Amino acid sequence: DAGVIQSPRHEVTEMGQEVTLRCKPISGHDYLFWYRQTMMRGLELLIYFNNNVPIDDSGMPEDRFSAKMPNASFSTLKIQPSEPRDSAVYFCASSFSQTPTYGYTFGSGTRLTVV
Amino acid sequence: SQQGEEDPQALSIQEGENATMNCSYKTSINNLQWYRQNSGRGLVHLILIRSNEREKHSGRLRVTLDTSKKSSSLLITASRAADTASYFCATEDNYGQNFVFGPGTRLSVLP
């Protein structure tokens, strides 16, 4: 398996534009997590899915953020409209269980810059 | 939500020396994990230690857990320049559900 695959690796967009981040989890992993990492706030859990169903989205900062998982092999995180304060690295991670022995497998992240 | 706090925030050592990082947390846990993050990359799981374990080893890594003090330490022996990275501890949140990550320790190993 190629691991968790995120795209794009880098995204630069103008304020007000819509941004869509993509994630392909490891096949067979039932849990998918979206994290945001900034210098100020560290690594924050935004939302997680179990068997494609959103379980907890309490970390989503506001209504401008939305996430979907239409099937077991694909998830998106959308920001609309984007703002400069959304600039961060967004990570997707997947795992067999919620608190797995072998930890979460993270993708390489998408570095988002909103200007 | 519960969060581990790593200490120190940054650590700089010479190649060959040992590096020790600490993690303190607030409430009881079942598991604690350590991750490494190289610059510009995602986090990589290093090791998990359960609440009924006191010490675990993996290669040059040694993790200890003291549940009475609510703390864990990660020791990297005979450090190498390639160990330069940020190290995070992750503890379960208050509901025992997801893992919550601390702010990390930035380790620099100088050649």
- For B1-56, what is each residue's pLDDT tens digit? 457 788 899 999 999 999 999 999 988 888 899 999 999 899 999 999 999 999 99
Enumerate residues 24 to 43 of chain B having a beta carbon within 8 A of any beta carbon in chain A. 30-31, 33, 35, 40-43
pLDDT > 90? residue A106: yes
Closest CB from B97, B99, B104 relative to A42: B104
So what's the pLDDT on residue B2? 52
Residue A97 has pLDDT above 70, yes or no: yes
Each residue of A26-46: b (16+ CB within 10 Å) or e? beebebbbbbbbeeeebbbbb
Q: What pLDDT band is residue B93 in, cutting at 50, 70 and 90? A: confident
Q: Which residues of B touch A50 (CB under 8 A)?
A: none
Integer Cα distance of B105 and B36 in angstroms: 10
Could A109 and B44 be called an inter-chain contact, meaning their C-beta atoms sit closer than 8 Å?
no
Top residue of B3, B45, B97 to mutate, by most chain A CBs within 10 Å, is B45
Residues of chain B in contact with residue A99, where contact means CB-CB under 8 angstroms, are: 30-31, 92, 96-99
Question: Could you report the per-residue pLDDT of A31-85, keeping only the tens digit for each?
Answer: 999 999 998 889 999 999 999 999 999 999 889 999 999 999 999 999 999 999 9
Nearest Cβ partner for A91 among B30, B42, B48: B42
Calculated CA dihedral for residues B60, B37, A40, B101, nearest 10 degrees: -70
Q: Across the interface, do B96 and A99 touch by the CB < 8 Å criterion? A: yes
Q: What is the mean pLDDT of residues B48-77?
A: 95
Q: Residue A1: pLDDT above 70?
A: no
pLDDT of residue B96: 67
Q: Is A34 on the interface with B (CB under 8 A)?
A: no
Q: Looking at the predicted structure, is the pLDDT value of residue A20 above 80?
A: yes
Q: Which residues pair with B55 in a beta bridge?
A: B64
Report pLDDT for B6: 85
Which residues face B73 on adjacent strands? B22, B64
Instruction: Judge whether residue A107 has pLDDT over 80.
Output: yes
Residues A112 and A22: beta-carbon distance below 8 Å = no
B4 interface with A at CB cutoff 8 Å: no
Comparing B3-7, B72-76, B83-87, the range with the smallest average pLDDT is: B3-7
What's the pLDDT at A31? 95
* Helix (H), strand (E) counts: chain A: 0, 11
- Paired strand residues for A88: A112
Q: How is the beta sheet containing B71-76 ordered, strand by strand? A: B5-7, B19-24, B71-76, B61-66, B55-58
